[in-house]
Amino acid sequence: MSYLNRPAKFTEAFKKLTAKKEVASRLNTKQWQDVPAAIRDRAFFSSRVASARFLSKAKKFMQAFLLKQIEEVISPDGVKSKAIKIGGRADFVARLQDFVLNEGLGEALPPGVPRGQRGVIPEMKDLASSRRLGLIFDTNIRSAYGYGNFKASTDSTVSQVYPAWRFVRTGYVKTPRPLHQKYENAVRRKDDTRFWLEMNKKEIGGLGVPHGPWGFNSQMDVQEVGRREAVALGLVKPDEKIKDPKAEFNKSLSVDLSRMDSSVADRLKKAFGKNIKTKGKTLAWTT
């Protein structure tokens, strides 16, 4: 049974998103990739976005979506009613697009170009573009639920019965990632963190975490593998307990400061407070 197809532990997904700290920075995608994945996974950010107001608003809208928050709306004829504040991706994009344009946070349009004709700016560089905002929503919501399911599946009581995962494809992909093709239907222990990080590495468009999503549009997923099958495959011993996969992943919570711009390190320390500090020439997580 695929744990991503079961109801996620909603509270864990919500807590994961809520715990992320807004880090406003002009860092581009490549520069963010130089930040250790375990630290990057704890940050709420978007490439080249230095507006704390934008990040705060985006995060609040996503929290409203997860909580299915209700708000009062007034129709054109003055009738008041109740509606879900952020009902989905389209609502998020529309509400945040209005915020970006009203606050003047989007790329400046060339003189004489109407506000609605934003196609003159490359989509992924335009903070007000539907594609850019949709990607921000997809990345954070999928990651939150991916983590919620991961935590549910790696709970010690569940791992006792299902100590391994099978890496499976759940849908058609026009151009599959070669690495995923190679390991399709492979079975590995849940605490084989090196393998699961390899399946989600940044070089193939992954997020650098040991759980889904496994790169956008990959159609990859995992299925629970019971102890009897895992023992038969030689992955575990009959009474063996597997380790907590999160512990292995969290070992990468440090980075050599020589690889990072000093302004980046300062922003991370400001965002995470006492949880992160400089130890000699290393920026490290302290908890």
Largest CA-CA distance found in the chain, in angstroms, rounded: 72
Report the alpha-carbon distance of residue 257 to residue 139 in Å, rounded. Answer: 27
pLDDT tens string for the chain (287 positions)?
343 444 446 788 899 999 999 988 888 888 888 788 888 899 999 988 989 999 999 999 999 998 887 766 565 566 555 666 788 999 999 999 889 888 887 655 555 555 555 554 555 567 888 889 999 999 999 999 999 889 989 999 999 999 999 999 999 999 999 999 999 999 999 999 999 999 999 899 899 999 999 998 899 999 999 999 999 999 999 999 999 888 778 776 777 777 777 777 788 888 888 888 787 888 777 76
Report the alpha-carbon distance of residue 75 to residue 10 in Å, rounded. Answer: 32
Q: Is the dihedral of CA 257, 263, 266, 270 positive or negative?
A: negative
156 φ, ψ to 5°? Answer: -55, -35
193 φ, ψ to 5°? Answer: -60, -35
Q: Is 95 exposed, middle or buried (0-12, 13-18, 19+ CB in 10 A)?
A: middle
Structure tokens at 158: 């569940």
- pTM of this structure: 0.80
Helix (H), strand (E) at residue 285: strand 282-285
